[in-house]
Structure 1
């Protein structure tokens, strides 16, 4: 089985479309079909059903899919190991990051990296932290710089670099902004604008209320913290945001609650070989971490 046919097979399986797979691989649809036909001939099994223009995996296709991913990952790991022998920091680096981290934490890291290693082709993906985590699991990204989960799977190594303190905020004319002291329960009677569902940051916030058996009214949600800031600033509800986003458009609410802390940092796969470029990026992130420790000493 050649790797090009396996790449086409995975692309069709992921997109459920020969034409979309062709766009992803920069191939024509007939070229994709030919690669799938070659793979079906080599494996002696039909891999896709095509019914009413709908493409779905057969039982043989479902069996092959995880193995195809493993084969391509082994090939990529071998390529990285051989390239690493040269010691050169070149090639491509697939890096996933969230929008907030990419906008507010990564720029100086990326600037230093690109100046030091101009031969590296940086392939950046802006994803939700949860999507970036999955990209590292699947091998689509070599590294991810995101909001860290409290627990990760056994295959993922998680290293904190920055700490975010989250604060309860609202617009200056919000009814709660006039209070001197606020128990957490006081927020329940007012609508909230919060991060989107299934995000670690939202889970942190809801966990604080659940611990006191409180349920809040979530009026609006979005995966972009900058949009949350705008919505809170125009009075659509109170919110919880990192201190780095708070300015004169918002006031910090005097909520009697311990600080909500989230950690930001990088993820890598324990069983995959890092490229020299990946190691160099980690070096830049660790330098930032070390500089922060020095400042606090």
Structure 2
């Protein structure tokens, strides 16, 4: 087996598509197909099941995938060792992120990282395209990401470890004419009968809110699901419901009122997750150091 064959196989397995794998590898699709066919011929087995709609792994392909990733990781580590002697960081950094990171300025972080390490190519995957924080953690454990910004209350699941970076309180946001708008604070129990605008299940702030209501023994009715904080504020402004949004996210909007909520833990955590089963690349280590500097 050649490294290029393993790279093609892993790309097709992760993308579930020869077309997307070819785009990712910057080659024509026919080259990917030919490389996979050669690899299957050398191994005397079919690695991929092809249909008109998608590509999936065969039993042999599922057995090969973790070994192929481990082989590519070993080659990456060898290159990193040589580059480190020469004072260079290169390669590809695959970062998963949420749609909002609170006080963390991801574009500024990535811009600084690019200036300090121009030989590193950065690939960014958003939670919206990968199933929220749980999807990002799955991608991390499977080797599709090097690190990820996630928001999940509690402890890390198997296969991941994380460092807590920030925690932002979620405030109640209501329209200026709402029955609670004149209050200085509100208790969680007063919100049981309200229509809520919230993120889909799997998003960190939704998990924080659901946990708070469950612990209080309260039911909650979510009428509209959104994937951006700004959209939540817009729906609240037009009377479609109320929302629990990160403190300060509505700015000085006179159409909206933000209130702290008492009687519940509504802190929205942001963590930087890394895989616990494999060593990080030199690029991933450099990015972690940059995040630490940013927080200081």
Find the counterpart in structure 2 of residue 157 from structure 1.
Answer: 161
Greater shift, 233-242 or 20-29, is seen at 20-29
The equivalent residue for 2:109 is: 109
SS at match of 1:189: coil
Contact 1:95 1:142 (8 Å CA) reproduced? yes
5+ residue gaps, structure 1, are 292-297
The equivalent of 2:289 in structure 1 is 283
Kindly provide the CA deviation profile for residues 43-101 of structure 1, in whole angstroms up to 9, marking residues without a partner as x: 11122344567644333233323332333233323332332233324444332222212
Structure 1: how far apart are the matches of 2:284 and 2:54?
A: 39
CA contact (8 A) 1:98 1:132 kept: no
- Structure 2 partner of 1:81: 81
Partner SS for 1:69: helix
1: CA distance between counterparts of 2:220 and 2:16? 39
Alignment of 1:135-150 (within 5 A): 135-150=139-154
TM-score under structure 1 length normalisation: 0.84
* Separation (CA, whole Å) in 2 of partners of 1:116 and 1:17: 34
- 1:175 match: 179
Higher percent of residues as helix: 1
Instruction: Say which is worse superposed, 25-34 or 210-219, in terms of deviation.
Output: 25-34
Q: Distance in 2 between matches of 1:110 and 1:54?
A: 33
Report the TM-score when normalising by structure 2.
Answer: 0.84
**Cα gap change, 1:210/1:246 in structure 2, threshold over 3 Å: closer, same or farther?**
same
Q: Rate the CA distance shift 1:108–1:22 in 2: closer, same or farther, 3 A.
A: closer
RMSD: 2.8
Aligned length: 290
Question: Structure 1 residues 60 and 165, CA, compared in 2 at 3 Å: closer, same or farther?
Answer: same
Residues 218 and 126 (structure 1 numbering): CA distance in 2 closer, same or farther, change over 3 Å?
Answer: same
Task: Tell me, yes or no, if structure 1 residue 36 matches structure 2 residue 42.
Answer: no
Which residue of structure 2 aligns with residue 130 of structure 1?
Answer: 134
Deviations 1:11-57 (A, max 9, x none): 33344443343333333333222112211111111223445676443
**Structure 1 284/181 Cα, relative in aligned 2: closer, same or farther at 3 Å?**
closer
CA contact (8 A) 2:93 2:123 kept: yes
In structure 2, do the counterparts of structure 1 residues 187 and 48 end up closer, same or farther at CA, with 3 Å as the change threshold? same
1:187 Cα offset (Å): 1.3
Post-superposition offset of 1:231 = 1.7
Q: CA 1:161–1:12 in 2, change beyond 3 Å: closer, same or farther?
A: closer
Q: Which residues of structure 2 form unaligned runs of 5+?
A: none
Instruction: Show the counterpart of 1:3.
Output: 3
Change (3 A) 1:171 1:54: closer
1:111 & 1:28 partners in 2: Cα distance? 30
Query: How far does the alpha carbon of each residue in 1:91-121 deviate from its partner, in whole angstroms, 9 at most, with x for none?
Result: 4433222221288532443344344444443
1:102–1:81 CA distance, 2 compared to 1 (3 A)? farther
Alignment of 1:1-297 (within 5 A): 1-50=1-50, 55-101=55-101, 104-127=104-127, 128-179=132-183, 182-249=186-253, 250-253=256-259, 255-289=261-295, 291=296
The residue matched to 1:215 in structure 2 has which SS?
A: coil
Q: In 1, distance between residues paired with 2:249 and 2:281?
A: 34
